[in-house]
Amino acid sequence: MNINIIDVRRFIRNRIEYYAHFRDCHCVGINDGCPLTLRQLVECLAIDPEPFPWEYEPAFRKLCGSAYPIWRDKRRTYGDVIAVLNQKLAEEEGRAAFVGGGSAHHTSSDVGRS
């Protein structure tokens, strides 16, 4: 199945907003027609250099929690936001996320996990 990168970004924005408010990694309240899970979307955009839209700042701030001051005055990319989301998902799953330099990086053990 081919999904346009623009749609993938829209799907991840939907899920970030939902996850930030409900902390539901299954995103059961999202009905946007996307067949991918949150974990699969995270893997698709892990190194995306596209700037993350400022209008989603409230959801990003809520997602960051007490770590938000690190990001407050920085322009961020989808990859940066995915790194924060990946860390939150890893904490929920009881594993460590490999995050470095403000961007997400996958290890071979992360590939294929959903």
Which one, of 13, 102, 104, lies nearest residue 63 by Cα? 13
CA angle centred on 21, ends 15 and 27, rounded to 5°: 35
Along the 114 residues of the chain, how does pLDDT read in single tens digits? 678 899 999 999 999 999 998 988 888 788 888 888 888 888 889 899 999 999 999 999 999 989 899 888 888 999 999 999 999 888 888 876 654 444 433 333 333 333
Which one, of 85, 88, 84, 90, lies nearest residue 110 by Cα? 90
